[in-house]
Amino acid sequence: MKCLSPSILAADYGRLAEEIKLVDEAGAQYIHIDVMDGAFVPNITIGAPVVADLRKYTDKILDVHLMVEEPDRFVEDFVQAGADIITVHAEACKHLDRTIVHIKEQGVLAGVALNPATPISVITHVLEMVDMVLVMSVNPGFGGQRFIPYTLDKIVDLRRVLGERGLKLDIQIDGGVTLDNIDEVLDAGANIIVAGSSVFSGDAAANVEKFLEHMK
Ligand code: DX5
Ligand code: ZN
């Protein structure tokens, strides 16, 4: 199934609940929440208490993207806050297998993210354990960056590997996705589409509807 996950990184943080309501009512299936620690990425955003408050305003899938070092430390906090999916970066985990097991034990979905330059071979042995792979199409840390084209090849390769192994995982793409490249991204094999600035700049509800048109 193809789903849109608007990234609230590009929303107005002073009106987060309203912004989430807009994209929720326009039909977005997920809400993407970027958690940054100022160490794994050069930026700081929000923590679990904010997610807990946002949980009251939407029943959509809360898709929490942890861009933090050693994310194991925060898994319980985000589960208690109401996260439905917790995605960790392979590059940020000393013991990726253990972290994935930890997330699954909490009863939520587990995602593993790869920076643009990280090869998919890094996660070969954990593919059976996760529900989603997030392929970063920009270097994480900021919204509004330009899409890195070679990441399309990674998606094609990953979809092929998953097919060969009979795995039906979701492939999420995150960074620089716009109405101009969405078709290429879908053709490559991504099915969970994160979009930040291209949703929240201008009329967010209308933008969601336009994205969803491409995803039928
Ligand atoms: C980047 C974040 C993305 C970001 C995407 O580090 O993980 O989720 O919000 O924003 P756009 O769509 O503007 O590139
Ligand atoms: Zn993200």
Position 194 confidence tier, pLDDT thresholds 50, 70, 90: very high
Pocket around ligand 1: residues whose beta carbon is below 6 Å from it? 7, 9-10, 32, 34, 65, 138, 140-145, 174-177, 194-198
Q: What are phi and psi of 30, to 5 degrees?
A: -125, 160
Taking residues 124-148, what's their average pLDDT?
Answer: 98
Q: Is 174 a catalytic residue?
A: yes
63, 170, 174, 187: the catalytic one is 174
| Sequence-separated (6 or more) residues with CB below 8 Å from residue 54 | 16, 17, 20, 31, 33, 62
Residue nearest to atom 6 of ligand 1 (CA): 140
Ligand 1 centroid to Cα of residue 160, in Å, is 25
Using alpha carbons, select from 136, 151, 148 the residue that is nearest to residue 194.
136
Cα 86 from Cα 63, distance rounded (Å) = 6
Q: What are phi and psi of 3, to 5 degrees?
A: -135, 150
Cα 14 from Cα 102, distance rounded (Å) = 33
pLDDT tens digits along 152-181 = 999 999 999 999 999 999 999 999 999 999
Q: What is the pLDDT of residue 51?
A: 98
Q: What is the pLDDT of residue 196?
A: 98
34, 37, 72, 170: the catalytic one is 34
Q: What is the pLDDT of residue 13?
A: 96
Give the orientation angle of helix 204-214 with respect to helix 16-25, to 10 degrees: 40
Contact assessment for residue 75 and residue 96, using Cβ atoms and an 8 Å cutoff: no
pLDDT tens digits along 73-106 = 999 999 999 999 999 999 999 999 999 999 999 9
Taking residues 190-211, what's their average pLDDT?
Answer: 98
pLDDT tens digits along 15-70 = 999 999 999 999 999 999 999 999 999 999 999 999 999 999 999 999 999 999 99
Residue spans of beta strands (DSSP E) within the chain: 3-6, 30-36, 61-67, 85-89, 109-114, 132-136, 170-174, 192-195
- All residues with CB under 5 Å from ion ligand 2: 34, 65, 174
| Sequence-separated (6 or more) residues with CB below 8 Å from residue 10 | 143, 144, 196, 197, 199, 200, 201
pLDDT tens digits along 202-213 = 999 999 999 999
Position 108 confidence tier, pLDDT thresholds 50, 70, 90: very high
Q: What is the pLDDT of residue 32?
A: 99
Query: In 10 A of CB 185, how many CB atoms?
Result: 24
Residue nearest to atom 4 of ligand 1 (CA): 143
Quick one: tokens of 167? 């795995």
Average pLDDT, the chain: 98
